[in-house]
Amino acid sequence: MGLVIRGGTVVNAGERFEADVKVEGRTITGIGSNLAKGANDTEVDAAGRFVLPGFVDPHVHMELPFMGTVSVDDFETGTASGIAGGTTSIIDFCIPAPGTSLLDGLAMWKERAAKATADYSFHMAITGWGENTADEMRAVVRDHGITSFKVFMAYKGAIMVDDHALYQVMKVAAETGAVVTVHAENGDVVWNLQRELLAKGLTGPEYHPVSRPSAVEGEATERALTMARLHGATPYIVHMTCRESVQALERAKLAGQRCYGETCPQYLLLDDRVFDAPDFGGSAFVMSPPIRKLGLGHHQALWSGVSNGMLDSIGTDHCPFLHEQKKMGAKDFTRIPNGAAGIEDRLSMLYTHGVKGGHFSLERLVELGSAAPARIFGLTKKGSVAVGMDADLVIFDPAPRGVRSAKTHFSKADRSIFEGHDVQGRVERTIVGGRIAFENGKLMAERGSGRFLARKPTHFAQHAEVNA
Ligand code: URP
Ligand code: ZN
Ligand code: ZN
C-alpha cells in the first residue's frame, strides 16, 4: 500500500515546484506530473498546500532526568507532539550521570526511546572526564552510529564540564569526525551570580535572567569556538540567544572556522517581559540560557543570523515541566527545573513570524528546520522531498489562522510558552515513514514505530592549531 500526494507545491531548501509525490513503503519513489496510483494506494489531495520534508528537531529532551525531576513528555508523547507540529525526526541528548559509562547511558536511552512514534538519534553528552572517556567516545562513534557529542559549560555541580574536559572532548571529536554540540554559558559565573542574588533575598523567577547575562553566554561561546579550533573540531552551539554569541560565531565563520549555530523560536519571539507574569507564572519561561530583554540587539542579531546564514538551524530545546514541577523553585529560582515545550509550535510560529513576517522565505525555513539539521548531523535520508529519501512529509496549509494553546496541544505540558499567540498556517497532515500519522487534528502516530537512526561521521579534523 502506498500514497500519492496530488497537486501540491513541493518546497525544499532551495526550490519549489508543483508536483505529485509518490510513496511506496517508507520511501519516496516518484515526483512528477499525473503520477499513476496503484489499486491499493491512498490518494491525498494537496492542491493549494505546501508539501514539505518532515522537520528535523536537532535539540529535544524527552523524559530527561534533570534538576531533581524528569521532563514530562516521554519519547512517545514528545514525538507525537512533534508530529502534530510537522516534526518527523528528533535528536535527543543521551546524558549519562557524571562518572557513569557512556555505553550504559546509551543502552538506557535506547530503551526509553523504543516507544517513539518518529525516528530518532542521540547526541552523547560528556559530563566529566575519566580514564575511559576517550575510548568510550571512540566506541560510540565507531560501533553505535552516534556522531555528535554534547558538552554543558553550565549547570555547575551537576553536568557541567571544566576546560580540561572541554579540551579533551574537542580533541577526540576531531579525531573521530564527530560534531560537538555545546551549551555555552560560563557556569562558574552563573553560580556566583545566583548565590549573590539569593543572598540579597532575590528569589523569584524574574531573577533567573539576571543571573545569566548575555556576556556570560558570549564568553562561553568564544571559549568553545577556541577549544574546537585548537583541534580542528566542529562545534555546534545550541540554543543561541544573544548578540555576543552570534558575533562570536560570525567572527569564527568569517575567519574560516567550520562551526554551526542554532537558535530556538522562543529566543526569536519572546522577551523578558514574560517574567512579569503574576503568581509564579514566570516559572514557565525559566530555561537556560534565558529569554532576553528587548532593545539590546539580541533579537535583531538572531533574526539577522537566521536570515543571512550566520545561524544554521532552528531547534526547539523541547524540555517541558509541569507547573507543579516548577514549584520546586517556589522559594529559590535556581531550583526551578529549566525548560519548556516547543516541538509542536516550531513550524507554525516560524511560518507566521519568519516567513509571513518577511524575515526569510519558506525555502529558508525548510533549510533551518529540516535540511540543515539533517545535513549537519548526517541524517542522509531526511531533510528533502526527493526520490529515494524517507517518506517523511508535511502537508502544510498556509491559509488557516489559529491560536497556540496548552489546551489544544498534544504535549503533556500543562502550559505553553506561546499561549494565546496567533498563527497563520496549519499542519494538515504529517506522514512518517510512509504512513499518515497526523490528519486534520487527529493523531494516528503509532507507539514504537520510530526507528533509531545510525549515522556516519563526516566532520574530521580541519585546520587544527595544535598538534598535541
Ligand atoms: O533550560 C533548558 N534549556 N533546559 C534543557 C536543558 C538544556 O540546557 O538544554
Ligand atoms: Zn542547554
Ligand atoms: Zn537542551
pLDDT digits (tens, 9 = 90+) for 124-167: 999 999 999 999 999 999 999 999 999 999 999 999 999 999 99
- Answer positive or negative: Cα dihedral of 168, 159, 224, 452: positive
Residue-level pLDDT at 468: 59
All residue ranges of the chain with pLDDT < 50 are none
Q: Is 160 in the pocket of ligand 1 (CB under 6 A)?
A: no
Residues 6+ apart with CB under 8 A from 341: 73, 81, 318, 319, 320, 409, 411, 413, 416, 417
- Using the mean position of ligand 1's atoms as its centre, give its distance from the Cα of residue 242 in Å: 16
The single residue listed with the C-alpha cell 494537496 is: 46
Contact at 8 Å (CB) between 175 and 232?
no
Whether ligand 1 lies within 6 angstroms of the CB of 212 is answered as: no
Cα–ligand 2 centroid distance for 140 (angstroms) = 21
> By alpha-carbon position, which residue is closest to atom 8 of ligand 1?
288
Q: Please work out whether the CB of residue 61 comes within 6 Å of at least one atom of ligand 1.
A: yes
Q: How far is residue 109 from each of residues 84, 101, 130, 452, measured CA to CA in Å?
A: 23, 12, 21, 11
389 contact partners, CB below 8 Å, separation of at least 6: 27, 28, 53, 381, 382, 383
* DSSP states of 257-313: ---EEEE-HHHHH--GGGGG-TTTGGGGG--SSPPPPTTSSHHHHHHHHHHHSSS-E
Q: Identify the pLDDT of residue 455.
A: 98
Region of 309 please: left (phi>0), alpha (psi -120 to 50) or beta: left
- SS3 of 245, please? helix
**Ligand 1 atom with minimal separation from the 287 CA:** 1
Q: In this structure, which residue's CA is closest to atom 7 in ligand 1?
A: 288
Judge if the beta carbon of residue 183 lies within 6 A of ligand 1: yes
Which grid coordinates belong to 117?
512514534
Q: How far is the CA of 229 from the centre of ligand 1 (A)?
A: 25
Residue whose CA lies nearest to ligand 1 atom number 1: 287
Rounded CA separation 322/207 (Å): 20
Query: Residue 466: what pLDDT?
Result: 87
Q: Is 288 in the pocket of ligand 1 (CB under 6 A)?
A: yes
Q: Which ligand is nearest the CA of 321, by number? A: 1
Q: Are 10 and 385 in contact (CB under 8 A)?
A: yes
Please state the atom number of ligand 1 nearest to the C-alpha of residue 288: 1
As beta bridge partners, residue 436 has 431
Q: Are strands 313-314 and 27-32 parallel, antiparallel or unpaired?
A: unpaired
C-alpha 397 to ligand 1 mean position (Å): 31
Cβ 392 under 6 angstroms from ligand 1:
no
287 lines ligand 1 (CB under 6 A): yes
Report the distance separating Cα 382 and Cα 120, nearest Å: 11
Which residues 6+ apart lie within 8 Å of 91 measured at CB? 56, 57, 58, 59, 60, 120, 121, 122, 123, 148, 373, 377
pLDDT value of position 123 = 99
The pLDDT value recorded for residue 32 is 98
Q: How far is the C-alpha of 308 from the C-alpha of 360, rounded, in Å?
A: 9
Report which protein residue has its CA nearest ligand 1's atom 4: 339
What is the helix (H) or strand (E) element at residue 3, kind and residue range? strand 2-12
Ligand 1 center from residue 458 Cα (angstroms) = 26
Dist. CA 323–CA 414, nearest whole Å: 7
Please tell me if the CB atom of residue 317 comes closer than 6 angstroms to any atom of ligand 1. Answer: yes
Here the cell at position 447 is 507507539
Whether residue 326 has its Cβ less than 6 Å from ligand 1:
no
Return phi, psi of residue 304, to 5°.
-60, -45
pTM for the predicted model, two decimal places: 0.98
Helix (H, G, I), strand (E, B) or coil at 466: coil
> Cis (ω within 30 of 0) for the bond into 320?
no
Choice from 57, 61, 241, 286 to test ligand 1 binding pocket (greatest atom count within 8 A of CB) = 61
Strand ranges for 49-153 from DSSP E: 50-53, 55-60, 65-66, 69-70, 87-94, 119-125, 148-152
Ligand 1 and 190: CB distance under 6 A: no
